[in-house]
């Protein structure tokens, strides 16, 4: 602000800047002042963008560059062009990881969002101990992902796990949960849902509370049942929030990593003997930091990025139809 | 060192390696072989030598050794730091990045055996220790340990810290329950070879229903492979020109078939090593025997806990000697003080350093002079019923032959053992297992 040296009347400095900045600048005559006015906002927001460039854009670009090379960690790199991508598209284990990731995403996220919606709706009612329940469903979120995974992995243990112990009462033989894809997916999905359902419910609940009460009152007067009110008022009004929640869940689901890694017990990133629950994120880490093939891993990372974009587009096309005719 | 925190199979051991003392270029008139003698002409300025290692618990066990060195060498001060408990997925990738970047490593770095094949293919990263006279240490190491510290150009780049001589660890209480002898010499006599080991297993399994004879595929496989590889040209997954021979090496096939036989006979608890379930079974007596390199003793003690003191014991291994795991020390070529680093490395991998590390962290010395020291050779392990671990593991390593480790040894080993685990647990049918095993290894070799 001290740049504004020509301004004769100091008390007016802040006034004119807001209300008639252009005129003030002109009168101040300074290129400096104009520069100040134009540049300051950019300067003030720049820390975010500088950090983003450093930790967001640069790694993105560098990964792209790396993905075009045959690059072994601690070895040579040679330019390959798009060979890594071609190889990746033909790589069965990559597609296996994609199937696992999408499979876990589907069986975890759909029940999770439905459950979150039901919970939010229930908590939006006048019930006793509402605050307690609202805090309660958010509680799993404060535990660390790894802690959740470790505990659940023990629950799913073959020999000493509580779930097999419980199933034993019904005559079920101990299940080796890691052994088959569907059992592993199921186990991993429960970890995800346990932690994230409450989080999504709280977001949806917050959105529900912004819906004007008079809409419901009017609907009641017209004789709409609570169920009808839910479908015809709540859901359409929630649409922007649902889109947000679905996006976040899609990104989280497709980059799934910690739960299946811990579930394996021994972090080789293989996701089971035949990759029954190896996710794409695990595949990337395995290629980069177990097999030291940085180029190939970078290509896989870009493929995951593309996969997420596709996933979001598909989900967006679904969610924007919610509430239909609006 | 090796403790339960280091899940990776690579992870095994900590070792220290060696070094050089010798200072031939610098006019010391002390004999090069006096480890820790350190009689070199003092540099004008005090030099700081950094040492980075990995491993949980006591890891390489260098606290006392470093203290001893620093007290005797005011001009060469050692700073010792254990970076992480995870070798395979944390330490090794970081080390490779720093080596490639040309800065950031310590003057002396610890390397697990599993990565030695990889490092041997990259001579540019490490100082030739031979130029500091460490070549003279050759007679102090079993050939098996020495050869893996020589790179593809034939230069010495690393010396051994600990070594994973083989034994079998067993649950005395479960053996007695099965009507088998519990005393370790008697147990050793039960299984002079693998056939009698199988017979013992069947006898055990007839009597005991709530525990299995063996833990799972990994320890058995590595035990057999460590014995078979020296019989088949001293190679495992790769031949000496770094070609994958997983399909043709009889040693691999024998080890594979052995695991398959025990798994099909229902003698395994179907547990993959270094997993939480495996740890739980060690504690709760889920199985009776496992292949047991020297560093595994610490893993079992950690997993089993105080309440199992005396339940576990150590017996001889069927079929003779073997080595599984162990670590090395090397001096990266980016070190500013390679001569002094070599001196320190020589001390840490010499008799005195090895014995101190053994006392501190149970790192079984890879040097013959270290193994012969009474503090090592007469050592008894209280947790294992006072088993004479010094003698058992020393005997098992004395005549070891070197096994060549290919550049991608660690990756192939991990991939192949995954298939064994799948076969044992039933997600891969026995009939398809060998094909999958070869496929997985081939893929991992890239």
A69, part of any domain:
no
* B34 vs B279, more confident: B279
Whether chain A has a CB inside 8 Å of the CB on B281: the answer is yes
- From A56, A73, A103, the end of a domain falls on A56
pLDDT at position A323 is: 60
**Nearest chain A Cα distance for residue B147, angstroms:** 22
| Alpha helices in B319-380, H assignment, sequence order | 338-348, 351-361, 368-372, 374-377
Fold (topology level) of B24-164+325-397: D-Maltodextrin-Binding Protein; domain 2 (3.40.190)
pLDDT in tens, A35-47: 888 888 888 888 9
For the beta carbon of residue A245, count every other beta carbon within 10 angstroms.
24
A150 and A19 co-located in one domain: no
A305 and A158 co-located in one domain: yes
Spatial CB neighbours of A195, under 8 Å, sequence gap ≥ 6: A140, A141, A143, A145, A148
DSSP, collapsed to helix, strand or coil, labels residue B291 as strand
Interchain pair A176, B270: CB under 8 A: yes
A301, part of any domain:
yes
Crossing angle between the packed helical segments A92-123 and A294-319, to the nearest 10 degrees:
40
A51 and A147 co-located in one domain: no
Of A93, A178, A267, Cβ closest to residue B7: A267
A28 and A149 co-located in one domain: no
Within 8 A of A179 by CB-CB distance, chain B residues are 425-427
A62, part of any domain:
no
Cα torsion A195, A197, A201, A203 to 10°: value is: 60
Of A75, A289, A291, Cβ closest to residue B444: A291
Whether chain A has a CB inside 8 Å of the CB on B139: the answer is no
pLDDT-derived band of residue B27, with 50, 70 and 90 as boundaries? very low
In chain B, which segments carry CATH 3.40.190.10? 24-164+325-397, 166-322+401-445
Of A179, A270, A292, Cβ closest to residue B418: A270
A48 and A91 co-located in one domain: no
pLDDT in tens, B225-284: 989 988 888 899 999 888 999 999 999 999 999 999 999 999 999 998 888 889 899 999
Fold (topology level) of B166-322+401-445: D-Maltodextrin-Binding Protein; domain 2 (3.40.190)
A324, part of any domain:
no
CATH number at residue A146: 1.10.3720.10
A28 and A94 co-located in one domain: no
Q: Supply angle C-alpha A254, A259, A265, rounded to 5.
A: 135
Whether chain B has a CB inside 8 Å of the CB on A77: the answer is no
* Domain interval for residue A193: 85-319
Within 8 A of A270 by CB-CB distance, chain B residues are 414-415, 418
For chain A, which ranges sit under pLDDT 50?
1-26, 325-326
A47 and A93 co-located in one domain: no
A124 and A209 co-located in one domain: yes
A68, part of any domain:
no
From residue A254, alpha-carbon distances to A97, A104, A165, A181, B162 in Å are 10, 9, 32, 17, 43
Q: How many domains are there within chain A?
A: 2
In which region does residue B385 sit, left (phi positive, over 0), alpha (psi from -120 to 50) or beta (all else)?
A: left
Q: What is the pTM of this model?
A: 0.80
Whether chain A has a CB inside 8 Å of the CB on B283: the answer is no
Whether chain A has a CB inside 8 Å of the CB on B145: the answer is no
Number of Cβ pairs closer than 8 Å across A and B?
94
pLDDT at position A289 is: 87
**Residues linked to residue B168 through DSSP beta bridges, in sequence order:** B291, B315
A13 and A122 co-located in one domain: no
pLDDT at position A61 is: 94
Please, is B29 exposed, middle or buried when counting C-beta atoms within 10 Å of its C-beta (0-12, 13-18, 19+)? exposed
Report how far residue A29's alpha carbon sits from residue A196's, in angstroms, rounded to the nearest whole number: 57
Report how far residue B83's alpha carbon sits from residue B79's, in angstroms, rounded to the nearest whole number: 12
Whether chain A has a CB inside 8 Å of the CB on B99: the answer is yes
By C-alpha distance, the chain A residue nearest B98 is A74
Strand locations in chain A (E): 69-71, 77-79
pLDDT in tens, B332-374: 999 999 999 999 999 999 999 999 999 888 889 999 999 999 9
Interchain pair B280, A93: CB under 8 A: no
For the beta carbon of residue A157, count every other beta carbon within 10 angstroms.
22
- From A36, A56, A76, the end of a domain falls on A56
In chain A, the largest separation of any two C-alpha atoms, in whole Å, equals 91
Interchain pair A291, B411: CB under 8 A: yes
Whether chain B has a CB inside 8 Å of the CB on A266: the answer is yes
**Nearest chain A Cα distance for residue B377, angstroms:** 34
A65, part of any domain:
no
pLDDT-derived band of residue B7, with 50, 70 and 90 as boundaries? very low
Interchain pair A265, B272: CB under 8 A: yes
Report how far residue A250's alpha carbon sits from residue A172's, in angstroms, rounded to the nearest whole number: 34
Report how far residue B222's alpha carbon sits from residue B290's, in angstroms, rounded to the nearest whole number: 11
A116 and A12 co-located in one domain: no
ipTM: 0.75
A150 and A293 co-located in one domain: yes
pLDDT-derived band of residue B44, with 50, 70 and 90 as boundaries? low
* B401 vs B356, more confident: B356
Interchain pair B272, A159: CB under 8 A: no
A268, part of any domain:
yes
Say which residue the tokens 């020296």 belong to: B230
What is the residue-averaged pLDDT of chain B?
86
pLDDT in tens, B175-204: 999 999 999 999 999 999 999 999 999 999
Q: Supply angle C-alpha A13, A18, A22, rounded to 5.
A: 85
pLDDT at position A29 is: 54
B167: Cα within 13 Å, side-chain hemisphere: 27
Report how far residue A244's alpha carbon sits from residue A316's, in angstroms, rounded to the nearest whole number: 9
Of B122, B272, B423, Cβ closest to residue A74: B122
**Residues linked to residue B404 through DSSP beta bridges, in sequence order:** B235
A194 and A121 co-located in one domain: yes
By C-alpha distance, the chain A residue nearest B444 is A291
A95, part of any domain:
yes
CB of B110 closer than 8 Å to CB of B81: no
pLDDT in tens, A305-317: 999 999 999 988 8
pLDDT at position B299 is: 85
């Amino acid at each position: 602000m001290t740049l504004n040296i020509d301004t004769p009347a100091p008390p007016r400095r802040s006034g004119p800047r807001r209300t008639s900045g252009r005129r003030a600048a002109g009168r101040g005559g300074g290129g400096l002042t104009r520069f100040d006015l134009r540049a300051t906002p950019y300067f003030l927001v720049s820390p975010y963008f500088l950090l983003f460039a450093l930790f967001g854009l640069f790694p993105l670009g560098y990964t792209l560059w790396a993905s075009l090379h045959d690059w072994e960690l601690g070895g040579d790199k040679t330019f390959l062009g798009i060979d890594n991508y071609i190889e990746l598209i033909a790589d069965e284990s990559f597609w296996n990881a994609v199937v696992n990731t999408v499979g876990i995403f589907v069986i975890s996220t759909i029940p999770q969002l439905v459950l979150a919606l039901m919970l939010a709706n229930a908590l939006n009612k006048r019930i006793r101990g509402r605050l307690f329940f609202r805090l309660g469903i958010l509680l799993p979120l404060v535990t660390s992902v790894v802690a959740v995974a470790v505990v659940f992995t023990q629950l799913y243990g073959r020999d000493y796990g509580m779930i097999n112990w419980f199933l034993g009462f019904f005559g079920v033989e101990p299940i080796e949960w890691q052994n088959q894809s569907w059992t592993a997916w199921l186990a991993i999905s429960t970890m995800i849902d346990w932690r994230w359902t409450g989080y999504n419910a709280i977001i949806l609940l917050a959105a529900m509370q912004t819906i004007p009460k008079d809409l419901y009152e009017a609907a009641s007067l017209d004789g709409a049942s609570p169920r009808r009110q839910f479908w015809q008022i709540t859901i359409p009004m929630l649409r922007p929030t649902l889109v947000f929640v679905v996006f976040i869940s899609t990104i989280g689901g497709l980059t799934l990593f910690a739960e299946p890694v811990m579930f394996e017990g021994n972090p080789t990133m293989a996701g089971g003997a035949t990759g029954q629950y190896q996710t794409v994120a695990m595949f990337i880490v395995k290629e980069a930091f177990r097999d030291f093939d940085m180029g190939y891993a970078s290509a896989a990372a870009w493929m995951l990025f593309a996969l997420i974009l596709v996933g979001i587009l598909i989900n967006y096309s679904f969610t924007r139809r919610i509430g239909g005719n609006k | 060192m090796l403790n339960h925190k280091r899940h990776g199979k690579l992870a095994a051991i900590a070792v220290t390696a060696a070094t050089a003392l010798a200072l031939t270029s610098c006019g010391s008139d002390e004999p090069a072989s006096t480890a820790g003698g350190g009689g070199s002409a003092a540099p004008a300025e005090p030099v700081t030598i950094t040492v980075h290692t990995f491993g949980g618990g006591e890891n390489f066990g260098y606290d006392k050794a470093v203290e001893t060195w620093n007290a005797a060498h005011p001009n060469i001060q050692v700073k010792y730091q254990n970076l992480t408990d995870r070798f395979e997925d944390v330490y090794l990738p970081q080390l490779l990045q720093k080596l490639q970047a040309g800065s950031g490593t310590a003057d002396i770095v610890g390397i697990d055996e599993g990565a030695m094949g990889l490092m041997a293919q990259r001579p540019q990263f490490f100082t030739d220790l031979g130029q500091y006279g460490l070549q003279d240490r050759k007679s102090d190491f079993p050939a098996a340990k020495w050869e893996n510290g020589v790179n593809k150009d034939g230069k010495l780049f690393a010396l051994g810290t600990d070594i994973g001589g083989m034994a079998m660890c067993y649950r005395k209480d479960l053996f007695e329950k099965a009507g088998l002898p519990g005393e370790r010499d008697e147990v050793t006599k039960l299984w002079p070879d693998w056939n009698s080991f199988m017979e013992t297993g069947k006898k055990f399994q007839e009597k005991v229903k709530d525990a299995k004879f063996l833990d799972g595929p990994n320890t058995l496989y590595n035990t057999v492979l460590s014995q078979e590889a020296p019989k088949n040209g001293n190679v495992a997954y790769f031949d000496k020109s770094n070609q994958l021979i997983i399909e043709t090496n009889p040693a691999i096939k024998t080890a594979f078939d052995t695991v398959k036989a025990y798994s099909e006979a229902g003698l395994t608890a179907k547990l993959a090593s270094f997993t939480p379930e495996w740890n739980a079974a060690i504690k709760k007596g889920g199985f009776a025997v496992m292949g047991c390199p020297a560093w595994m003793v610490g893993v079992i003690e950690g997993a089993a806990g105080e309440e199992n003191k005396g339940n576990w014991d150590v017996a001889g291994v069927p079929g003779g000697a073997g080595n599984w795991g162990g670590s090395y020390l090397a001096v990266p070529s980016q070190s500013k003080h390679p001569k002094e680093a070599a001196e320190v490395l020589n001390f840490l991998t010499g008799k005195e350093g090895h014995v101190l590390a053994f006392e501190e962290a149970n790192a079984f010395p890879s040097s013959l002079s270290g193994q012969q020291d009474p503090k090592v050779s007469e050592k008894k392990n209280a947790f294992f019923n006072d088993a004479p671990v010094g003698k058992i593991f020393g005997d098992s390593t004395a005549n070891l032959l070197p096994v060549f480790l290919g550049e991608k040894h660690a990756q192939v080993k991990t991939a192949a053992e995954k298939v064994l685990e799948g076969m044992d647990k039933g997600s891969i049918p026995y009939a398809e297992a060998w094909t999958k095993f070869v496929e997985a290894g081939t893929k991992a070799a890239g």
